Amino acid sequence: MAEVKSESESGSIGKRREWLAFLFVVAIVVPLLTIAVVGGYGFVVWMLQVFVLGPPGHGG
Amino acid sequence: MKIIATLWNTLKKPPVHISLGVIIIVSFFAGIVFWGGFNTAMEYTNTEEFCISCHEMEDNVYQELQSTVHWSNRTGVRAICSDCHVPHDWTAKIARKMQASKEVWGAIFGTIDTPEKFEAKRLELAQHEWARFKANGSLECRSCHDYNSMDWDRMSDEARRFMKPAAERDQSCVDCHKGIAHKLPEQMGSEDPMLARLVREATSVSLDEGQQYYSAKSVDLYTDPELTERAGVLQVATEVNIVETRGDSVKLEIPAWRKEKGFGRVLYADFGQNISSAVLDKEVAQNDSLIEVQETNVVDEMTGLPWGNVNVALWAEKGVYLENREALWETAGQTYRDACSVCHTEPAPEHFDANTWPAMFSGMVGFTNMSAGTQELVLKYLQMHSSDYVEGAH
């Protein structure tokens, strides 16, 4: 563990890894998660409308 | 697995090579780009271009829209698909977008990919939309049309008479205004299924000469048993006596009253009452050999018009007569209550007299989707159950 640490903290491999991880998360993971969360929210509301609430009503 | 482990190891520690400032700025702009992109994509799915990119929409509903006021009108404002069919409120909109996964499914598996399949589903699809508009009080309509912005003085009298009470009750637009942007389901514009059943039933009623029957629908009348010389039209629910049967034809005797002014083309069910039984061609109405006069010059005191009691015997097709009118009246009464109560409390049939009903009825029937045949029957039902025929009515 200590070896890995020292390797990633110094040198170009560590820098490259950090940037890749950062951009990967910012450009791919978070957008996908957001879409999934919004879509999931919409899906839950839809299912509630189907089974519990009925069609969307006047002013929510 | 190793890549994920390495990624996780990198992520769980504070950055060494990237400054906090860079992270904040890059993340901030990434956020802007993402949200902009998300909204743009969402907006795109609300465009007409997107909706009609599947032929189910383009070939059916989109074509129908183009003949309506929501497509072109004197003010140049028009509604696109999403204006009416996608909720404008964010949560309901997202839910609707998720619901569209069903439409994607339908597009992939061709649920309504031919005009026939679409027509078969039209009623069901329309009912879904009507249920939605019922629940939200036609919220999407009201993004543009607002009761509070209606200037009653600038409305036609007829429109105001309906719109004002509707506004007071905050009524859902689609309660009355169905079929304004797309065609109504065929089942609604055409023959009433209950009425169609009675007409089918009539085909199996055996006719005895000398007996009384009632027409189950309007029937063409002829002067000859071969049914070649047209004489007029017998209307629905009219009392006739079967004089003679020959092959597929029957000779009917229509006991009637008619006005002895003009050509006497219209035969009425009763003295002084504008309840039409049949309409004859001019030559037939003037032909004394076809019209047997029973009584003549009976003056109706209300109008001063002379009426005559006649018997008219003409030929018609077989198989469209019933032994009594009860089932016809029941169907008519049901249709009357259903169609009228959509917009207002319907008056009892005996609220008006037989001569008031026609004007009353024709002023209102345009708001319903009764077929011509059903209208004829319902009007007759109302007249025959009006204050002139119900004891103790006002």
| Digit-coded pLDDT (tens) for B152-167 | 888 888 788 788 888 9
**Residue of B91, B94, B146, B171 to mutate for A, most A C-beta atoms under 10 A:** B94
Predicted confidence at residue B191, as pLDDT, reads: 57
User: Which pLDDT tens digit goes with each residue over B30-60?
Assistant: 999 999 999 999 999 999 999 998 888 888 8
Name chain A contacts of B84, Cβ cutoff 8 Å: none
d(CA A46, CA A50) in angstroms, rounded, equals 6
* For residues A26-51, average pLDDT: 90
d(CA B316, CA B202) in angstroms, rounded, equals 14
**pTM for the whole structure:** 0.56
**Average pLDDT in chain B:** 87
* For residues B287-313, average pLDDT: 88
Q: Does A2 touch chain B (CB under 8 A)?
A: no
d(CA B377, CA B382) in angstroms, rounded, equals 9
d(CA B197, CA B271) in angstroms, rounded, equals 32
ipTM: 0.73
- Reading the block at residue B260, the tokens are 């002895």
Q: Do B136 and A35 touch (CB under 8 A)?
A: no
Q: Do B38 and A35 touch (CB under 8 A)?
A: yes
State the CB neighbour count (10 A cutoff) for residue B163. 17
**Eight-state DSSP code of residue B216:** S
* For residues B60-72, average pLDDT: 89
For residue B222, pLDDT beyond 60: yes
Predicted confidence at residue B257, as pLDDT, reads: 93
pLDDT-derived band at A58, boundaries 50, 70, 90: low
- Dihedral of CA atoms B335, B338, B342, B346 in degrees, nearest 10, equals 80
Task: Find, in chain B, the residue whose alpha carbon is nearest to that of A42.
Answer: B95
- Reading the block at residue B140, the tokens are 């999407």
Task: Find, in chain B, the residue whose alpha carbon is nearest to that of A7.
Answer: B10
Name chain A contacts of B11, Cβ cutoff 8 Å: 21, 25
User: Which of B7, B23, B95 minimises the CB distance to A42?
Assistant: B95
Q: Do A34 and B34 touch (CB under 8 A)?
A: yes
Query: What is the distance of C-alpha B217 from the center of its chain?
Result: 19
**Eight-state DSSP code of residue B110:** T
The residue assigned the tokens 């089942």 is B187
Percent of chain B exceeding pLDDT 70 equals 97
Radius of gyration of the CA atoms of chain B, in A: 32
* For residues B159-184, average pLDDT: 85
- Tell me whether residue B99 is exposed, middle or buried, using C-beta atoms within 10 angstroms of its C-beta: 0 to 12, 13 to 18, 19 or more: middle
Percent of chain A exceeding pLDDT 90 equals 28
pLDDT-derived band at B188, boundaries 50, 70, 90: low
For residue A1, pLDDT beyond 60: no
**Residue of B2, B10, B19 to mutate for A, most A C-beta atoms under 10 A:** B10
pLDDT-derived band at A8, boundaries 50, 70, 90: very low
d(CA B84, CA A21) in angstroms, rounded, equals 44
Name chain B contacts of A18, Cβ cutoff 8 Å: 10, 15-18
DSSP string, B115-142: HHHHHHHHHHHHHHHHHHHHHTTSTTGG
For residue A22, pLDDT beyond 60: yes
Interface of B with A in 47-106 (CB under 8 A): 87, 89, 91-92, 94-99
Q: Distance, in angstroms, between B122 CA and closest chain A CA?
A: 19
Number of residue pairs across A and B with CB atoms under 8 Å? 84
Nearest in space to B231 (alpha carbons), one of B289, B173, B156, B147: B289
Residue B18 contacts residue A17 (beta carbons within 8 Å): no
User: Domain map of chain A by residue range?
Assistant: 24-51
d(CA B180, CA B79) in angstroms, rounded, equals 12
Q: Do B18 and A9 touch (CB under 8 A)?
A: no
